[in-house]
A and B are shown apart, each in its own frame.
Chain A
Amino acid sequence: MGATQTRPEPQYQDLVEATGFSLEQIKNLHKRFEQLSGNADTISRENLERIPALANNPIKTQIIEAFFDKRNQHGNELGSYEAIGFKEFLMVMSHFRPPTLRTTEEEKEAMREEKVRFLFNMHDTDGDGKITLQEYRRVVEELLSKSGTIGQEAARAIADAAMLEVASTNVPNMGPDDFYEGITFEHFQQILKGLEMESRMHIRFLDASTAHGCCRK
């Protein structure tokens, strides 16, 4: 592998345990990390913005922001980084691992919660633990941002309808004076229960080193 190997093996081992990826997968992701960062140790937002394929994505900003969000690092910190290292990159990516045949039911539950938490953090931009109406509106607006003016007008209506639905299902008997502050994490989990996140929210991580046609180790 030669010059591109910047990390010694034992540190990969830590990462394997922390994130659950296999060694092969970590190596591939590391290669990609270096590609994105230009062989530096950290990635900034600009590095990610430069990916050409992301340009067409309506929620590009949110995705990039998610990488720099401290809440996705399995710690208890809030706020965001300016630049992230490989470990942080990997931690964010680990949210997208699929369950395996050996995953038990409890592990699947934990995985689902983790993934739903990731989505929640993406929506809850001010970090107060609730998705307010404004934030939700913004989500829908971004989703429809590539659809012109039709999108923008309908976005507000759709977001309001969705919010109403969350409130209706979770707190069905609100008096006319009560105010629904925002979607809490529990309510969010409730409304997404039907989607079964642990089976949907994953991508394929390459095991073999086919991505760059690199020489065998």
Chain B
Amino acid sequence: MLPRIAPFNRTGFARTVPELGLLLLAILVLLEGSVLPLGAASTPETNTHGEANRSGAVEGHSNHTKKAFPVLSFNYESVKLPFEISLWVLLAFLMKLGFHLVPRLSGIVPESCLLIVVGLLVGGLIRLAREEVPPVLNSKLFFYCLLPPIILDAGYFLPIRPFMENLGTILMFAVVGTLWNAFFVGGLLFAICLIPQTPVLNIGLLPCLLFGSIISAVDPVAVLAVFEEIHINELLHILVFGESLLNDAVTVVLYHLFEEFALVGSVTVLDGFLGIISFLIVALGGVLFGAIFGFLAAFTSRFTSHIRVIEPLFVFVYSYMAYLAAEMFHLSGIMALIACGAVMRPYVEANISHKSHTTIKYFLKMWSSVSETLIFIFLGVATVEGPHEWNWVFVTATVILCLVSRVIGVVGLTFVINKFRIVKLTTKDQFIIAYGGLRGAIAFSLGFLLDEHHFKMRNIFLTAIITVVFFTVFVQGMTIKPLVELLAVKKKQEAKRSINEEIHTQFLDHLLTGIEDICGHYGHHHWKDKLNRFNKKYVKGFLIVGERSKEPQLIAFYHKMEMKQAIQMVESGGGSKLASAMPSTVSMQNIQPKNQAAPLKPKERALPQLSKGREEEIRKILRTNLQRTRQRLHSYNRHTLVGDPEEEGIKDLILKKQMRIELDRKIKEMANHLTVPARTQDSPTMRRARLASGRNTDFIPAQQQKGNKNSSDPQSFTVKPSADGVPVIQVDLASPQSPDSVNLFDETGQPAQNDDQGLMMKTKSSESDKRSEKDDLRDQQKLMRCLSDPGPAAEEDEDEPFLP
């Protein structure tokens, strides 16, 4: 997002801080102005009163103006709720935009802090204007609307490999660590309450333990918000983040357990035992629900080839259903959501169209962004609202105990875990893990859920929770970045996955599995290999449509890369930008063994020469024609979203266009030895023009290869309008060679009947030269497409978090 904001910065009106402040103020006033009437009607008691008032007013109004027809009337009530929601969302995003316009600020202070401050401001303004602040961080809203998008986003884009590799460690931290935190904090708080000197704090053991369980869980929202900005290495990121996701099960169980028993007043060993069973059911049940819905989604996506538009919907709705179903049974909704997203992703991605894939990605990122922003703002607002009951001892004790317990927990657990890990966790790692244990809005919402009648100390709890959340988000959130720099913690590898790395990752997998087999024990790799084989044999065939089910991972990766390249090439405007996309001048010619390259030389010299002036003319004319055709290409893209042939056609179009561009560039290079440059230099533009004209343009390269020259007769060049719209050329993307073999090389000598005849010249060339050249050039095209890193502005890998 940042690079795109930068140009805005140059021209935007809110560049300087005073202007920005003005903008913010305007928004706040607007919000407050609309919240004023809202506030009056939002509380339940006054709601009906407001309604009655309003209807009375309307009636009175209508009595008043029975004579005249109301030309302009104001009816706020009917749009109140959507209006309110939209205004909050708008506020959230204008804030976010604002932060990025002030560049230094976003570097120092994490966004979450800024958003909380904004929330505080808004809450303050509302409070100043009226007595009451509307209860925005209503637990139902939070758990059913705000939290799921964030978790789904996290689960869908969860990097499975590092997650699975470190699953044991993550589970240890999540389960044992959270349990330890809960009991330590709860127990010690109770002990503190027992000390006679403390001011009146009459809190029983169970409520203390309940509080401990609420405050002990690391919060995924806060962790995501902060960690995304510091870019630490993958291992640490997945450890802390995975822990924050998986500790939900523990939190759910402990919360319900202690809530129930705090009412009863005592707990027995049997209850403890039941608690453990309950934990297993909650965790495994959640995962099971998620997996079931994930498989359903994958299965459904198998049949969506005719209705591509609704594909993203399946992903979202099935996941949300998984979450709700799990919540219904008091299982862990978060784990269900993670399981659903992670399970369905490989199959769904193989089935859905590229556009749907992009849609899903962007919708998820957008929704999670909205949710996160709103959560932090609401946290700020809710802080102002209260209700608060400040108790120095309790609050400071909570903060200190949380920190201490986290540190002790991490150190102790790491000591045990390192006995089982192959790559051990260093002290630096431990520090970051401990320091990254942020608390957030989930803790607050859980506290909010407590029933006030049963828990008279709810306000104290809420105050303490808010303080801890503020402390972790502000203090730890702000200082973690400089600490990471100071400690020189390994950062995330920014480089894109190249084809070499992919090949070797696969190679390593097989190698290590083989070595394990030779060593004789069933290790981690053995089971992974077994699972992969099972997946390939049974599951993929069932869930993935068509040929893709048999596609090995390496080939899938290769195609994905090609596709990305092709699309990037199209988006960056084609030929003129080619040079920047390929920083090196290496091409297939440099790699092929010499004996293959040799035959090209003698043939090339036999060709006649074209003057430079002529070349220029041709190029200019073709370029002007190109602009027309390029527009046609775009409008062609925009039309239908439904319909398979269009999608395939686009893919094909992209690939062929790129192939031609590459091919021509290659020919251009070869033409350094050639004495006729003309043919090659106008080919990219001409090629594109022909492509857009919708004709079967495939024969052109073949003719090029045969050594046919296009003479410079620009007048005879015309761009034909596209015939029927969609060129239905079935491309089987599973075999990259098919486009080449089918389209390029089968035409061996039919000149264009109705096409630009004028640009042909013939020379003699031998059959054998044709063959080797064909081969060569075919390889070249494929190669050009597969350069690993087209440049810094390339698309992000789906596995990476989206927020810049």
The residues of A with any CB-CB pair to B shorter than 8 Å are: 29, 32, 35-36, 48, 51, 53-54, 56-60, 63, 67, 93, 96, 98-101, 119, 122, 132-133, 139-140, 143-144, 146-148, 150-151, 153-154, 157-158, 160-169, 171-176, 178-180, 191-192, 194-195, 199-206, 211
- Contact A180 to B521, CB < 8 A, known contacts A57-B510, A157-B558, A165-B786: no
Q: Shortest distance in angstroms between B409's beta carbon and chain A's nearest beta carbon? A: 20
With known contacts A99-B423, A180-B591, A192-B500, A164–B586 Cβ distance under 8 A: yes
Contact among A29, A166, A176, A203 with B589 in the assembled complex (CB-CB below 8 Å): A176
Measured between beta carbons, the chain A residues less than 8 angstroms from B204 are none
Given contacts A96-B515, A158-B555, contact A163 B591 (CB under 8 A): yes
Verify if B3 is at the interface (C-beta below 8 Å from A). no
Contact B501 A133 (CB under 8 A): no
A200 to B511, CA, bound (A): 11
Min CB distance B721 to A, Å, is 35
Given contacts A96-B515, A139-B507, contact A165 B734 (CB under 8 A): no
Is residue B458 contacting chain A, with contact meaning CB distance below 8 A?
no
CB distance from B527 to the nearest CB of A (A): 12
- Complex contacts, A58 vs chain B, CB 8 Å: 510
Q: Is B588 an interface residue (CB 8 A)?
A: yes
Which of B517, B586, B735 gathers the greatest number of chain A CB atoms within 10 Å? Answer: B586
The 8 Å CB contact of B737, one of A60, A153, A199, is: A153
Known: A161-B783, A165-B786, A194-B501. A54 touches B517 (CB 8 A): yes
A139 to B506, CA, bound (A): 11
B418 touches A101 (CB 8 A): yes
Tell me the nearest residue of chain B to A116, going by C-beta: B504
- Interface size classification for chain B: 35 or more
Chain-A contact segment, one of B88-96, B474-482, B546-554? B546-554
Q: Which of A139, A202, A206, A211 contacts B503 (CB 8 A)?
A: A139
Of the stretches B491-499, B607-615, B641-649, the one at the interface is B491-499
- B770 interface residue (CB < 8 Å to A): no
Q: Do B583 and A168 touch across chains, with their CB atoms under 8 A apart? A: yes
Known contacts A101-B418, A165-B788; is A60 also within 8 Å of B508 by CB? no
Q: Are A174 and B499 in contact (CB under 8 A)?
A: no
- How far does the Cβ of A97 sit from chain B's closest Cβ, in whole Å? 10
Beyond A35-B520, A144-B554, A164-B586, 7 additional contacts (C-beta under 8 Å) are: A58-B510, A132-B593, A148-B550, A164-B588, A167-B590, A194-B495, A194-B498
In the assembled complex, which residues on chain B have CB atoms less than 8 Å from the CB atom of A100?
424
Cα A216 to Cα B585 in complex, Å, equals 64
Beta-carbon contact of B555 and A57 below 8 Å: no
Please, how many angstroms separate the alpha-carbon atoms of A187 and B84 in the complex?
60
Report the separation of the CA atoms of residues A161 and B554 in the bound assembly, to the nearest whole angstrom.
13
Interface readout for B529-555 with A: 1 if CB under 8 Å, 0 if not?
Answer: 100010000000000000100111011
Q: Pick 22 A–B contacts, CB within 8 A, sort by A.
A: A36-B518, A54-B518, A59-B511, A63-B510, A98-B423, A99-B423, A100-B424, A132-B593, A147-B552, A150-B550, A153-B736, A157-B786, A158-B555, A163-B591, A164-B786, A167-B590, A172-B586, A179-B597, A192-B500, A201-B511, A202-B422, A205-B519
In the bound assembly, the distance between CA atoms of A38 and B308 in angstroms comes to: 60
CA A57 to CA B192, docked complex, whole Å: 61
Determine whether the beta carbon of B514 is less than 8 Å from that of A57: yes
Tell whether, in the assembled complex, residue A195 and residue B523 are in contact, meaning their CB atoms are under 8 Å apart: no
Are B787 and A164 closer than 8 Å at their CB atoms? yes
How far is B498's CA from A95's CA once the two chains are assembled, in angstroms? 25
Q: Could you say which residues of chain B place their CB within 8 Å of the CB of A119?
A: 504, 507-508, 511
Cβ contact within 8 Å between A63 and B518: yes
With a cutoff of 8 Å between Cβ atoms, the chain B residues found around residue A36 in the complex are 518
A165 touches B515 (CB 8 A): no
Pairwise interchain contact B591-A164, C-beta atoms closer than 8 A: yes
- Partner pick for A168 among B506, B550, B558, B787, CB 8 A cutoff: B787
> When the two chains form the complex, which single residue of B551, B583, B736 contacts A172, counting CB atoms closer than 8 Å?
B583
Q: Does B52 contact A (CB under 8 A)?
A: no
